[in-house]
Chains A and B, each alone.
Chain A
Amino acid sequence: MTGWNEKILDIDLTSGSIKTYPLDMNMARLFVGGRGLGGRLLWDLVGPGVDPLSPDNVLIFTNGPLTGTAYQTSNRFSVSTKSPLSGTILDANSGGFWGMQLKRTGYAALIVRGRSEKPVYIEIKGEQASIQNAAETWGLRVSEVTNKLGQDKNRRNVLCIGPAGEKLSRIAAIMNDGQRALGRGGSGAVMGSKNLKAIVVEGNQKTEISDPERYKFMVYETRKLLAASPLTSQALPEFGTAVMMNLVNNVGALATRNHQHNMFEGAEAISGETLSETYLVKNDACWACPIHCTRISKTGKTGEVEGPEFQTAWAFGAQCGIADLEAIIEANYLCNDLGFDTISAGSTVACAMELSEKGLVDSDLRFGRADLLSSTLEDMAYRRGLGVDMAEGSWRLAKQYGAPELSMSVKGLEMPAYDPRGMQGQGLLLATSNRGACHMRGNMLGLEVLGLPKLIDRFQIQGKSSYVILNQNSNAAIDSLVLCKFTSMGVADEYFARTLSAVTGIQYATGDMIKMGERVWNLERLYNLRAGFTSKDDTLPSRLLNEPAPDGPTKGWVVHLEPMLKEYYRARGWDANGVPTPQKLAELELKEL
């Protein structure tokens, strides 16, 4: 079959063995690549009893058949592992250049297992892989190690961890190409636990395409559609993702001060519009992406750096009660250089601020204290003072100080910017997300706020589950291709199916894509059930279920989760306890699991 690299590279850092073996092509057909393929491989490799920070956990880096073909946004790649933050199945994906370069080496997946005695890095040149001594880079920050190991545009690309990953922070990210992140869930700590500092890739193989003429036509059509959509041709390139700040705030759904409020008086000051007027230098793009949503900002302290994205501007902004964009840009840069997930880091700082204000923690942290952001992040990365506990993420932090209810997280993963009291469907989506609270597993923003493809009542309870499920399945499919979700703002799922068919020679219909997404979702659910999660974990912080929203148009609302959850399980074809039925598993070709 074309499209896929049909080989897996498997490196055991304990023994030093480096093996290659064929990719199971039936598995590839069913799960395609990225999140789907990584999750399926993880099912076989990491059982329920495995400690995520032990040598028995693995890191699985995957690409997909479209990766590196130059189809729009085909730069992305994925990592799958068992999360040290949530204990769930975890995948995270990232853009930039590294994923395209991994594809050029000729491998569909790189599996890293075991633990090296001393710090090492992996170098893959073409199909040749080697394990190298990392004594000179261990301890360095992300920008330093990326430069030292020879990052070179689209010829040689570096993926690494920073001090946060080395110190096993459960909210540490894996960084690639300097300032891109496999952000959520603590994969950086897994890499740190293996004494693995970096993975450097250089390749020159081209992806073989089954029907080049049909593929070229799809690239042409997709380019036209993305250029015609004001979302991908105007809003994202000109203002970046932070353009959502004012809208989400004005409808009363912007989580503020650790979700104590749902509107932020400083939203305009941290918005995409203000960023464009002040610190923005230019926009930029990942490999093969015409959208150019990346922000390049500059402050006196940082020089020219990437970001901030909407979620980051929110996490260090509204969530911490900080309306200082300069401080947010600096915190964003510091997170990238130390190797933190910005959402979890910002939300953990916000949690510490509330714990301090309530007298549960002895610290100077208070909402609005922008002056403490940098030193707090340094303390978290190097585990100093309160940073020892904060490096564990907000849930363990809040539990440590006797108030776990003050962690705004689901299954231990910190929530994104939306206050679901003002978006009921978003509440269901976050509660049921397989890797914990995450807006990238599906997002009800389109339906509940933007009216895309149609506007539905954001406070409605009944009937929400079917929209949530469609969103989750569709996103799982895009994550398995692996493409950027922003393409779907200009291009329908049908185009992805036609492009995948042209590249692989297998005929995928639109319905096959959604079914593939559903298969991935159910696989992830089975993984979590096997790890001991139950329907009781499909919930939200008690604040959002019991404390009415205090502000604006959402005032008085809590999330009415219970009825939505019952409807969701039924609509998923699961039993009343949220367990997929044998019929559902047979329908999805998951019977063997």
Chain B
Amino acid sequence: MAYEAVIGLEVHAHLLTHSKIFCGCATAFGAPPNTQVCEVCLGMPGSLPVLNRKAVEYALKMALATDCTIAPESVFARKNYFYPDLPKGYQISQFELPLAEHGHLEIKVNGQAKRIGITRIHLEEDAGKLVHSEARPVSFVDFNRTGVPLIEIVSEPDMESPDEAVEYLKGLRNILLYLEICDGNLEEGSFRCDANISLRPVGAKELGVKVELKNMNSFRFIKAALEFEIKRQRANLSAGREIVQETRLWDTSSNQTVSMRGKEEAHDYRYFPDPDLVPVRIDHDWLESLRKNLVELPKARLKRFQAEYGLPEYDAEVLTSDKALADYFEATVKLFPQPKQVSNWIMGELMRELKKEEAGIDSCRVSPAALGKLLSLVDTGALSGKLAKTVFEDMVATGRDPEAIIKEKGLVQISDSGALEALAQEIIDANPKEAADFRAGKTKVLGFFVGQLMKKTKGQANPQMANEIFRKLLA
């Protein structure tokens, strides 16, 4: 029997507020353990939470950006469970009445557009972090992360393949970055994803037994875990074995999912409205002003890139799928107003170099200004396209200015026609057969002559001039 996968995703995104969701402690990542804590986030007896308005604002922005319906009144609830990284013995989250519901996000896989439903977006606090000692059977707990604001974005089970899942996640992450409300760092855990996945016979309406997947801290792992899980479940179903409802972890050392806990061990979280907090009422005017001032989102920017810069859809799509890349493009175009040229360089040379270094555009050493200067040099004929690539490699490696590199390496294009003519004559004299061929009408050998000249000048000859000189001398 043929099976199809049904995938739903839960994303937890750290909000980039300066202070925590229910107290004034800092949220910065990487501080020494337990230095960003107070009586509130430590859950000391008698302490009470006070909601950070900025966190609500950020969550609302995401809700608006994904076309959610925003609840005029939502309620914080306590999710009760015991764990050493949870100082109060409950997490303040939202349950029955979340901040926003019924949104959606459009993705594109293999050129096909698809709308993925967003069930809900709610606010909650993060837990702390356990650090397990390698030397002794001891664990430590760091409460710096406790109380960092999170939004949980729950999708409908609308995805059918790992590729769709990854596209959806990249789309969400991109919007979060556009809104500047999350740094989107999967490795540091500021953008985390759990997946629910089940299989059913193709065409069946009813959903199969689902498995929850955790511990996937990169897009690569998410894809691999989903692929593995589809194979595993298909094998089980084909062999007539039932799927066990459980939570499984992606194990990076064995490249497979392993069982963490079964349904019987699942928590009863005993949710109830948190009596320490009042319902969150969203003021209509506030919401409207957020809506009005929402930044340009990827979809709008894509359209604008096509209209304003005349870019093909593909270029516009690639560039706007990463806010930093799109920003980089626009900054470069401002200095070198030939959008297609800039796009070609970014999508070609720049992205190739970034891929080599496995780096993002944020850590790229070449500034838009430097790239703009390089492209101007090519444009004015001061630098050949080929040389420009050599210079660019150096720029990526060292972050130096293109002119400095050109000067140091003596890469300035030779455009002195006298000097070039002398060299060209030498080459013609040394290659009488090829010269005869050309004169006999085999114009293809012109390339040979130009190549020889380039060799002699270490690539510095102005190629256009070289062509003209040979044509003249061989005429």
Decide if A and B are genuine partners.
no
